[in-house]
Amino acid sequence: MNEIFQIVAELGMKLHPDRIRAIAEKIASLGSFKDFSRAKTSFGPNVDNLLIIRFERAWQKYSHITPAELSIALRSSSWTSSLHNMKSSIELVWTGPSTGIVPIRHTEQVLCQVIRSAVKKLYIVSYVAYKVETIIHELCHAAERGVSINLIFESSTEHGGTVSFDSVEAMKKTVLTANIYIWKKTGQLVGSVHAKCAVADGQISFITSANFTAAAMERNMELGVLVEGGHIPQNLERHLEALIVTGIVQRI
């Protein structure tokens, strides 16, 4: 019976609570498993059809489970997933002298973790990216996995920005599929892209003082936090997406 409960758990993790509610209500209205075909449309057009087939076969195998029981299982799975997603863990990240007293993780190590965890979307913001071969290597691997890579940098002085090194051109030559954005500023009082962060799939985010340079990754005293789960990675991703959609940052 673990098979059907595993699939119920997968549905609870993958589908929005509103969608699970619609599915659960439809299943609860059925007489038995034999009526399942009437509930298929409630899954919506974007659900993996293979998952629906697995669900149907598992329920057929354990058809003694009533529609009401299965409906409750779906709702419970969705609530459990939602509560889990609301919880987050925060970890201290540091580059520089170590005291050996407080356990800390290294900046480059954590940034690589965020990049490796990306399945669909990755956003990275930095003032500059310079001589970070390990990070470039991880970004290229992410691109090979089909991850949508979105990079926001400060423009070089040659293009109206405030940094001498042209991160945009460097990334164009190394991470070929990346979407690269700059803040096209107007007026004399507008500042620079000074934020440094990375977020993958709205699930894990890294907020740091470190520019993505060899000095920041290896020698400088830099401090950051890694946040997994909860609303911070979600909101950070939404904010960066909004900067792009509204045209505040523009693709180069």
The count of structural domains within the chain is: 2
Shared domain for 92 and 149, answered yes or no, is: yes
Residue where a domain terminates, one of 59, 85, 111: 85
Shared domain for 56 and 127, answered yes or no, is: no
Decide the pairing of beta strands 222-229 and 204-208.
antiparallel
Domain containing residue 204: 88-251
Decide the pairing of beta strands 121-126 and 88-95.
unpaired
Q: Is the pLDDT of residue 189 over 70?
A: no
Shared domain for 172 and 218, answered yes or no, is: yes
Instruction: Report CA dihedral (15, 20, 23, 26) to the nearest 10 degrees.
Output: -170
Give the model confidence (pLDDT) of 29-86 as tens digits: 999 999 999 999 999 888 888 889 999 999 999 999 999 999 999 999 999 888 876 6
Shared domain for 242 and 155, answered yes or no, is: yes
Q: pTM for the complete prediction?
A: 0.66
Q: Is the pLDDT of residue 231 over 90?
A: no
Looking at residue 232, its pLDDT comes to 92
Cβ atoms of 68 and 32 closer than 8 Å: no
Shared domain for 55 and 161, answered yes or no, is: no
Q: Give the whole-angstrom CA distance, residue 104 versus residue 102.
A: 6
User: Which residues on neighbouring strands pair with residue 228, listed in sequence order?
Assistant: 89, 204
Which amino acid would we find at residue 159? H
Q: Is the pLDDT of residue 173 over 70?
A: yes
Give the model confidence (pLDDT) of 93-105 as tens digits: 999 988 888 888 8
Shared domain for 122 and 146, answered yes or no, is: yes
Looking at residue 187, its pLDDT comes to 67
Shared domain for 162 and 125, answered yes or no, is: yes
Shared domain for 129 and 12, answered yes or no, is: no
Give the model confidence (pLDDT) of 113-159 as tens digits: 999 999 999 999 999 988 889 999 999 999 999 999 999 999 988 88
The DSSP line for 26-80 is HHHT-SSGGGGGGGGGGG-TTS-HHHHHHHHHHHHHTTTS-HHHHHHHHHHHHHH
Shared domain for 158 and 205, answered yes or no, is: yes
CATH of the domain at 98: 3.30.870.10
Shared domain for 109 and 155, answered yes or no, is: yes
